[in-house]
A and B are shown apart, each in its own frame.
Chain A
């Protein structure tokens, strides 16, 4: 218990749920924040993570698996699959901006919508999983690479298990 209060003070995750009619300000219980970290660690795709900070901040490090969604809610288009979404902001974003994101994301069926009070820095403080997105980028196209001709390229590329 002695760790719980400072932890909550640091994290202060705000949950805004369009589906349940909650407006900004409701605080996610600590257990639910742990759920978010677990979901991100497991990479199940159950919780969609978007980063709405500027592009440079995103490239310097973000929540593991987060995709860059731009800084303007009106410019965002979702795939309509909805589900939970975790929105990574720069510090304490203005309430008006959060409301715009909330409205926009709800349009695409997202529910619940999680905003971190304190933004990305709060996630880092509680050791939430982070990565450099550059390592996740895949480059389209197959040239100049040579695709294996056969199903098994004998003795390459893998090594024999020790």
Chain B
């Protein structure tokens, strides 16, 4: 009888461990980490490979499989838990931020993390998660940027405009400061920030307009050029011949463009970051 008892114990043990293994194989991260999974599920990262904008561009550019290296490293609709947290034993080791972010947010086509390392914000101890997480639930997996959270860009950039009398005539000077803590715009190379300076006539119409684009640009002979707004640096635009076409006022707007292409493209999606006006007709405001 003794051998039967041992056999029962062994069989029970095997069955129990098998059940555990089966259960473990079926458990997913969200079964236990409900809040984190819910918050992450609302993020664009979780759908990075299934967003219409991505799919349209992916198809247009020849359906390059390399895109999924960032948009869905483990397959599926987008980034998954293991893509950042790894495949190791549970519990996973603490993530190293921002290095883990840099794998995709520095390349290809980005320098967000590298520019962050150059910023005063980094020197002051700021973390990526300070601004780019904390959705309504307060969970640290609710990743968001300007395209996903209303008001995200509020107060990030500030314009100042003035007019200086110069020998060649009045010159408008518009300066841009920002506190993004990294290059602005961050994100991929197709995004841009536009400074739109307009002369406004008596009727309130646009007498003239000068556009300045901040973002990545490409020149046939020079290749790619980084013309993003760098952290902790003021950008200055000077514009002359202000009074042409009956301009009475000057309006400067800083506009974030989420879509690639020209400012006036029909499909362009904009959000105004700041706007300032001054009178050109009088030396008194």
Contact = CB atoms under 8 A, between A and B. Distances in A.
A79 B234 contact: no
B236 A151 contact: no
Contacts of A153: 108-109, 188-190, 216, 218, 224
B220 A144 contact: yes
A79 to B, nearest CB: 4
B113 A64 contact: no
B166 A138 contact: no
Interface string B162-183: 1111100010010101110000
Interface stretch (A14-22, A39-47, A88-96, A114-122): A39-47
A148 B113 contact: no
A75 B190 contact: no
Chain A contact surface mostly: loop
A154 B66 contact: yes
B40 interface: no
Interface residues of A, number: 51
B223 interface: yes
Interface in A147-162: 147-161
B118 interface: no
A139 interface: yes
Interface stretch (A5-13, A25-33, A66-74): A66-74
Nearest to B242: A77
Interface in B48-79: 53-54, 57, 60-61, 64, 66-67
Interface in B187-229: 187-192, 195, 197, 210-220, 223-227
B158 A45 contact: yes
A41 B283 CA distance: 32
B277 interface: yes
A38 B2 CA distance: 82
Given A43-B120, A69-B173, A75-B164, A133 B236 contact: yes
B278 interface: yes
Interface in A41-70: 41-45, 48, 50, 55, 64-65, 67-70
Contact of A151 (B57, B179, B210): B57
Interface in B233-279: 233-239, 259-262, 276-279
A18 to B, nearest CB: 14
Contacts of A70: 164-166
A98 to B, nearest CB: 18
A45 B60 CA distance: 41
A107 interface: yes
A67 B159 CA distance: 12
Contact of A137 (B224, B237, B261): B237
B127 interface: no
A158 B285 contact: no
B218 A154 contact: no
Contacts of A48: 160
Contacts of A144: 219-220
B108 A152 contact: yes
Contact of B190 (A76, A148, A161): A148
A144 to B, nearest CB: 6
17 contacts: A78-B278, A107-B284, A137-B236, A144-B219, A146-B218, A147-B192, A147-B213, A147-B261, A148-B260, A150-B260, A153-B188, A153-B216, A155-B108, A155-B109, A157-B218, A158-B108, A158-B111
